[in-house]
Structure 1
Amino acid sequence: MEKHWIKLFATPNPIEAEIIKQMLEAHEVPAVIINKQDSSYRFGQIELYVHQSNESLARELLADSDYRANEEG
């Protein structure tokens, strides 16, 4: 992954990760999902990254959402 991207969120649920990504992008915060789950057994995490220049806004948006329990950092 390119430099200056920060892991914002991790979850085992791919749908949850996609919902958060869409919410961020609706607020013009580009986000990238990296699936680190094992493809056979579905253990591991799906990680969501944002560029460090958008980290503050992304964390605010995440804090205002219902996903505070899985927030990284």
Structure 2
Amino acid sequence: MNPNWTKIKVFTNALQGEIIKQMLVENNIPAVLLNKQDSSYHFGVIELYVDNEHVLEATALMDSFNDEEITHED
């Protein structure tokens, strides 16, 4: 992977990864998913990368998304 990108999260569920990636992109944070899952059996991981300039912003946004998700489950 390009050294200008940082892995910030790992998923085992492709849909979760796509949702988080889309949230970042909608907030003008460049994001890429690197799917390392086996195509036949779907084991392995999906890695989420953002460019180095947006790491703190992306992690803060993901944290606020997770906090919001938790409060809506009550």
- Aligning the two structures, in what range does the TM-score lie when normalised by the shorter sequence? 0.7 to 0.9
Structure 2 CA distance for aligned equivalents of residues 66 and 36 of structure 1: 24
**Could you say what the CA RMSD is over the residues aligned between the two structures, in angstroms?**
1.2
Q: CA deviation at 1:66?
A: 2.1
Structure 2 CA distance for aligned equivalents of residues 17 and 4 of structure 1: 20
Q: CA deviation at 1:20?
A: 0.3
Poorly superposed stretches of 4+, deviation over 3 Å: none
> What's 1:58 paired with?
58
Structure with bigger helix share is 2
Q: CA deviation at 1:4?
A: 1.9
Structure 2 CA distance for aligned equivalents of residues 39 and 22 of structure 1: 22
Secondary structure at the aligned position of 1:10 is classed as: strand
> What's 2:72 paired with?
none
Q: Kindly report which structure 2 residues correspond to 1:29-44, keeping only aligned pairs within 5 A, or say none.
A: 29-44=29-44
Q: Which runs of 5+ in 2 are unaligned?
A: 68-74
Q: CA deviation at 1:2?
A: 1.5
